[in-house]
Amino acid sequence: MRWLDTVAILCVLVGSGCGSGSQAKPAESSARTRPRAARPPASLYLEPEQTLSAQFNIRDLRFVGMDDGPVPDFRLRTEQGSSFDSRQLVGERPFVVVFFATWCAVCNLKMPMLRRALEVTEPVTVIGVAVDDPQTWPRVTPYLKRHGLTRMPLVRAQRYPAFAISYNPFSTVPLVVVVGKNGGLVDYQIGYAPNDEQRLEAALRLAKRIGPLKGHP
């Protein structure tokens, strides 16, 4: 069974996340974006500073775990001004993508667990993705400070819709995606469960030592 099929089943059975919430819109089949340049679907990423507008079709996107190959490419600029390019991460070090929202009650349970797991498995690259809209965005920095995650690079989901859909097709929070050094999906945690902390620690350790993907040098 493919990763994405498994995740879909878990999403229905568990239902432990905040979902898209009243302030987050579900993924749509197309969206107005500002791409840097035309790229193959597997490398599609969006850069908000560009002035040209275009549409992307969700059917052209790859999703995390859909084919058990390397995760979809992305290129992001954080709110702190740093940049992340998946092509520089894959093969070099594992990374974690964390989707959250300040209005999500379940996130308040997940974030302390995430912080503790990261502390015992450092170093690992973490990318925080806030799905807050403009109305609640001012709460994000105090929220991260309250949870002791002020050093976590922060990305605004609304600025990178193709990336957000590719890694979080169910538009749910909290969501933690663990990607191995080889670029393969190691774990996909939706919502919160009491054993998530131990599970995440194990996934992070595996992500550091995992070898090349089968059929992908």
Tens-place pLDDT, residues 150-185? 989 999 999 999 999 999 988 899 999 999 888 889
Q: What is the pLDDT of residue 44?
A: 35
Q: What is the CATH code for 3-16+29-209?
A: 3.40.30.10
Q: What is the overall mean pLDDT for the chain?
A: 76
What is the Cβ-side half-sphere exposure of residue 207, based on CA atoms within 13 angstroms? 32
Amino acid at 193: A
Task: Give the pLDDT score at 62.
Answer: 78
Segments of the chain assigned E as strands: 30-33, 54-57, 75-77, 83-85, 95-100, 125-130, 154-156, 175-179, 185-190
pLDDT surpasses 60 at 109: yes
Q: Which residues contact 25 (CB under 8 A, 6 or more apart)?
A: 171
pLDDT at 214: 52
The residue among 144 and 55 whose pLDDT is bigger is 144
Q: Is the pLDDT of residue 144 over 60?
A: yes
Sequence-distant (6+) residues with CB within 8 A of 54 are 33, 34, 35
Task: Give Cα 95 to chain centroid, integer Å.
Answer: 10
Please check the confidence at residue 34 and state whether its pLDDT lies above 50.
no
Note the pTM of the prediction, 2 decimals.
0.75
Q: Does position 57 have pLDDT exceeding 90, yes or no?
A: no
**Beta strands across the sheet bearing 95-100:** 154-156, 125-130, 95-100, 175-179, 185-190
Residue 56 pLDDT level (bands cut at 50, 70, 90): low
pLDDT at 50 over 80: no
Q: What's the pLDDT at 39?
A: 32
Q: Which amino acid is at 217?
A: P
Q: CA distances (Å), 158 to each of 56, 123, 124, 137, in order?
A: 15, 28, 25, 11
- Report DSSP state, residue 33: E
User: 10 Å Cβ neighbour count for 142?
Assistant: 11
Q: Is the pLDDT of residue 78 over 50?
A: yes
Nearest of 91, 93, 89, 85 to residue 39 by alpha carbon: 85
Question: Tens digits of per-residue pLDDT, 182-215?
Answer: 888 999 999 999 899 999 999 998 988 876 555 5
Query: Residue 27: pLDDT band by 50, 70, 90 thresholds?
Result: very low
